[in-house]
Amino acid sequence: MNEITNDSRMFETEKISKILMRLAPPVMFAQLIQALYNIADSYFVGKFSGDALTALSVIFPIQFTIIALGVGTGMGVNTYMAFLFAHNRKKEADETAGSGAVFAILMWAIFALLSIFFLKYYVSLSATSPMAIKFIVLDIRRFLCSF
């Protein structure tokens, strides 16, 4: 228990640089792993075909945006729920969880609809190969259906 108290007081007493040096490495390591995964993915997909590498390059910003919004929203809801729990407002925290779940489903539906109606247009601006376009459309639909 004393360790938790010391950790929370760290934000009140320590310099920002010391806090960053303590908290940043795990986040930086996670981003490094993600970057290495993307490099390995690009390498092996590029060996498969140039069209597949084109498809991967075109679709990556869309997938990254979807993931960033999903994870960011989830972290925001989680943080707000933790704040409510810390202030003994359990009922509001439970309501926030329900709202977060509804919002997640709503975001999925919006991205699914946008991909159905605008994906081919976006892809046609970014790629010219018919095979690359086929890979892209299949990839984003599979990605959206995985949720």
Going by C-alpha positions, the residue among 41, 74, 76 that lies closest to residue 60 is: 41
| Domain residue spans of the chain | 1-45, 49-147
% residues pLDDT > 90 (the chain): 7
The verdict on pTM exceeding 0.75 is no
Q: How confident is the model at residue 54 (pLDDT cuts 50, 70, 90)?
A: confident
**Range scoring the smallest mean pLDDT among 8-12, 90-94, 99-103:** 8-12
Q: For all residues of the chain together, what is the average pLDDT?
A: 80
For range 104-120, the mean pLDDT: 85
State the Cα–Cα distance between residues 77 and 53, nearest whole angstrom. 35
Cβ(129)–Cβ(58) below 8 Å: no
Tens digits of per-residue pLDDT, 79-99?
A: 888 888 888 899 998 999 999
% residues pLDDT > 70 (the chain): 88
Cα-Cα-Cα-Cα dihedral of 26, 63, 38, 75, to 10°?
A: 10
